[in-house]
Amino acid sequence: MSTLDQTPPTSNAQTQSSSTLPPNPSRTLKWYVTIDRILSPTGEPIATSEEERERFYLDLFCLKVDSAVLATKLNEITVEDLLKIYQSNLSDLFQYAVKCLKPSDDDEMDEIRLPNVITTLSIICREILKKKDFQNFSIDIINLFAGSLDNSDQLFSELVAGIDRILADFNQSLLIRHKTLQLALSIVSAINQGSINAYFLRRDLFSTLAGIVSDPRTVSMTFDGVLLLGLLANFRRFESRNPYLVRMEDYVDEKAMERIITLSVLALGDVRSGYMEAQEEKTTSLLGNVMGALSSIKPSNPTPPSEPFRTHPLMPTCILLPLFDFLRANTTFLNVLMADDEFWAEYLSFASYLFSHASASKRSRAYARLVLVTLIVLIEEGGLVLSQRERQVTVKFCRQRQPQLPLISDQPRPPISSVLDLTILFLRHNLRRELDIESYLDSLRLVHSVLVNLQAHQVRLDYDWTGLWRALVCVGSLVGGRGGELKQFPNIDKVAQQILDVFSFAVIWSETLFMDTDGVAGLYYEILRASHTIRQLLKIAGLCPTEPLTNTIPTIGIISSSAGAGTIEGGKNLEMILKSFESLMKSKSRWEAEEVIGLVKEHLGSIEFIDTCSLEARSRRADPYRL
């Protein structure tokens, strides 16, 4: 007689089970009674002999699983009880399920059991791995699933081998293969950098997953397949040579790459739609844009993000991680991506919403920083392609927060112009008392990378630079005005240095970067208007001269600073601009904007800058792998 027909569990457990029974004739009471017995609060073993236990679980896996009931039961058990009361039976349930991933001599029974086995394993992994109260997560999970460390190697090797075998089996149904892929995803994502994921490196699944991505018949599995590749490529990538990264470097299937990019476009489009549904957008009038520009001059606190945005961006945003890994590792993928205008239109549109609401949650800040670093890489690797005038993309910018970008931003333009607009959105809308130093450094590095790229390729960008300069000044005002308070934050001096670097680089290369003298004069004008902020930044960066400037080619005192030579000389150049024009403007107490710009144009060639280091295409980049 089957062990499933043995004495039912205690009345308490039976009552609890029967109260959750759905009126579903496709399931027998036997499954509910059996699960109650396995998860009995008494922790009584199922059977004493190995043969009886095996028969018990083989029979159980012939029964259809009630996912909701099993998930609820596991969710209600505390970590302490899992490890003390339920460990033995739960370990048996997991181990016998893993054994059933391997084909037996009975194909008919395998076909019946496999869907139930996959469902059972998926629920166990999802509900248990999400619990937060483990004292030693890796060791506790190994003991809970394998029974002991001694059994772990064989168990997890069989688990990964079974997953690989099912995913690669074209005779299996698409549903079973997809559920198996989702099982692997739930394990890898929850374990993160834990030792269990090492078994996915020991048995390389790259060929299997690449086959899923390239096969038109498995298009519904492509997203999960690409995501699993990205997660595995990031497992302990700094400790050893990750085999998935190595395989990414050698990947040559351009059709599959195009599919990944198309998938990314669709995913990010869904995420952007989620932002749009969270809050209605209103395009401001010309007057509203003018008022917004004026308000951006003052370092006031921006409008706080609305509560609905705390749950954004939505789940499909995770496609950004494998996308970043592929473009960093594979030149062919980078080239395919750079040529795709549809990708650029959607990616930049999505980024505008992410950047506008990056401060809404820790998760959104992490994704925003990933996009910033990704854009730095893309600008440095393919900036010429992105800055060509004939390359036009239409970006739908977020208009949910004030001040908005000018309406011209929605017109077809080279992608690099939209990248600059994105930095304005990030700089404007994420100023907080506890400044996210690393993200702001990355946004400033992105601005610097764009300028360096334009200079290197001799591209004069048709762009309204005023908004960018004022966004930089706004950040500088916050940093400079709260310098003493912000000293507790590491690298605050680097934020000041990076802002000064951007202004200095723009000054040195102004004739190359700007379309005409109006653009050059506009830069000088914004520097003069922000003279107090510039000098505060010089102090925070440790670049204050010890001797006064007295002429257009001044003698600068010794500066004690940890900044590089280029930043030091850039600081001197900015101080020269301030001193020189302040001397020229002593003749009267009040100057109109037009008068100042006219004065600047008249004396543009009168200042000789220090350029030995400023001429270098410097950009303080973070290691793009270490986010």
pLDDT of residue 621: 44
- Rounded CA gap, 527 and 534, in Å? 7
The 10s digit of each residue's pLDDT in 417-451 is 999 999 999 999 998 877 889 999 999 999 999 99
Residue 580 has pLDDT above 80, yes or no: yes
On the question of pLDDT at 558 being above 60, the answer is no
Task: For the chain, count helices (H), then strands (E).
Answer: 30, 0
Domain residue ranges in the chain: 3-201, 468-627
What CA–CA distance (Å, rounded) separates 464 from 459? 15
- pLDDT tops 50 at residue 561: no
Cβ contacts of 563 within 8 Å, gap of 6 or more: 493, 497, 541, 542, 543, 571
Looking at residues 27-55, what average pLDDT do you find? Answer: 82
pLDDT at 16 over 50: no
Instruction: Quote the pLDDT of residue 44.
Output: 77
Reference 376, options 189, 600, 625; nearest CA is 625
Mapped onto helix, strand or coil, the DSSP state of residue 65 is: coil
**Would you state the pLDDT for residue 617?**
43
DSSP string covering 174-239, please? Answer: HHHHHHHHHHHHHHHHHHTTSGGGHHHHHTT-HHHHHHHHH-GGGGGGHHHHHHHHHHHHTTTTTT
Strand partners, 413: 393
237 has pLDDT over 90: no
Mean pLDDT on 286-308: 47
Over residues 514-540, mean pLDDT:
93
Tell me if 474 sits within 8 A of 522, measured CB to CB.
Answer: no
**Is pLDDT larger for residue 606 or for residue 618?**
606
DSSP notation for 98-130: HHTTS--S-HHHHHHHHHHHHHHHHHHHHHHHT
- Computed over every residue of the chain, the mean pLDDT equals 84
Q: What was the pLDDT predicted at 58?
A: 92
Structure confidence at residue 554 (pLDDT): 34
Mean pLDDT of 287-314: 55
Torsion of Cα atoms, 316 then 321 then 325 then 326, to 10°: 10
pLDDT confidence tier of residue 285, bands split at 50, 70 and 90:
very low
- What pLDDT is stored for residue 190 in this prediction? 93
Model confidence at 205: pLDDT above 80: yes
Of residues 414 and 621, more confidence is placed in 414
**Is residue 23 predicted with pLDDT exceeding 80?**
no
Residue 43 DSSP symbol: -
Poorest-pLDDT segment among 45-59, 82-96, 377-391? 45-59
Look up residue 594 and give its amino acid. E
Q: Where are the alpha helices (DSSP H) in 279-357?
A: 286-297, 320-329, 331-338, 341-356
User: What phi and psi, each to the nearest 5 degrees, are found at residue 413?
Assistant: -150, 165
Confidence of residue 7 (pLDDT cuts 50, 70, 90): very low
pLDDT of residue 563: 57
Burial-class residue 270 by CB neighbours within 10 Å (0-12, 13-18, 19+).
Answer: middle
| Closest C-alpha among 471, 596, 449, 594 to residue 524 | 596
Tokens of 589: 């107490």
Count CA within 13 A, CB hemisphere, residue 507: 30
- Cα 570 to the center of its chain, rounded Å: 33
